[in-house]
Structure 1
Amino acid sequence: MGCGRVEDITDVKKRNEGCVCDVVRAIKDIQDQANREECPGCPTSCFLEPLGGIVSPSRNQADTRVFMLLNKDGTPFKAFFRDRDRCDNDCFSVFFRVEDIFDTCCATLRVLEPLDRERNEVDLLNEDGTKIDLRQICKVRNWRLTGSCVTVDLNCFCAIECIADVFLDVCD
């Protein structure tokens, strides 16, 4: 069951799903098992009603599998997030947490803010602010939840890389 699987699949929907779908679906299952109590969905999901704050008990175990998605050209997929302290150039990330999977191979991903060892923000963009600087990714050791989510078609990616299992206090 890998990217190049040649199994005889009769279900057309299953046949069109790629390995990225399989891996993200597995990550979601693992995260769901770690969550002992029901957590509300991503607070910026277009489908979430009503709008409002979230309050939930804290946890002491890993509740998130941090991952990156790679585009078909091999570059990391990036998404915008609202910076907590100001809107500067460090408002793009390549790190995600799966929040939901629906319609066969679509997913809502929470954007995770990249932080260094000292929990300072890491600006992943190059000097021009136009592309991801791959050297900056190497500085990332921690993450912080953002209030930004993106809905993606997982069939648009060719690879997924799991980075770490961490505790982000998801229901905080």
Structure 2
Amino acid sequence: MGRNCNDDIQDAGKNCVCDVVRAIADAQDNVVDQDCDVSCAQSIRDLVSPVSGNGLDTVPFILYDKKGKPFKGYGAEVRRQGGGPARFDCFDSYIFRVSEIDDEDCCAVLELLVFDNDESAGHDPCEQIDNEEVSGLERTGICITVDLSCFCAITCLPAVSVM
């Protein structure tokens, strides 16, 4: 019988979200120094397409918790302006890029992605991405560590270049 997201005990080797994020990480590693039109499998194929120079380096994705709600990550960077005091800038996002993944415990380091340095993602993923230009997606350098066994679903966006 299939695994249930509500199982109290998660086996990291049998978690579909973990498996997909692992495949994305492997594909991205191959690009960066090392049947649906839009799906995780299609985004991964586009990323590693043999077409040289396609410029794609990232499969952005959205995670969903065990209740089906989109996961929003938060982080802060330090902003320094002139001779004034350093200040925090807080960012939130529903869109992530996998930076690394631990195969043993299925924990991953995810980087928050935003559009043109927007600090707020809004109330849901559609609000964050609706009518945004694909080329406007940017890396923040802000990373969070998550346990992928805590998520039940993943939506992959089409492969993009954010380097």
Aligned mates of 2:77, 2:158 — CA distance in 1: 22
Aligned-partner Cα distance in 1 for 2:68–2:11: 25
Q: CA 1:144/1:133 → structure 2, altered by over 3 Å: closer, same or farther?
A: same
- Distance in structure 2 (CA, Å) of the matches to 1:96 and 1:88: 18
| 1:88 Cα deviation after fit | 6.9
What's the TM-score once normalised by structure 2's chain length? 0.65
RMSD: 3.1
Q: 2:143 aligned with 1:145, yes or no?
A: no
- The one-letter code matched in structure 2 to 1:105 is C
Gaps of 5+ in 2: 4-9, 35-52, 80-86
Q: Which amino acid aligns with 2:18?
A: C
Taking a change above 3 Å as real, the CA distance of residues 135 and 27 of structure 1, as seen in their structure-2 partners, is closer
1:4 deviation in Å? 3.4
Shift of 1:168: 1.1
Runs (5+) with no aligned partner, structure 1: 6-11, 39-58, 126-131
1:112 has 2:117 as partner: no
Asked if 1:29 corresponds to 2:21, the answer is: no
Q: Aligned in 2, Cα 1:120/1:19: closer, same or farther, shift over 3 Å?
A: same
Answer yes or no: is the 8 Å Cα contact 1:63–1:168 preserved in 2: yes
Instruction: After TM superposition, give the deviation of residue 75 of structure 1 in Å.
Output: 1.1
Name the residue aligned to 2:41: none
1:78 to 2:72 alignment: yes
**Alignment TM-score, normalising by the size of structure 1:** 0.62
Matched positions, count: 129
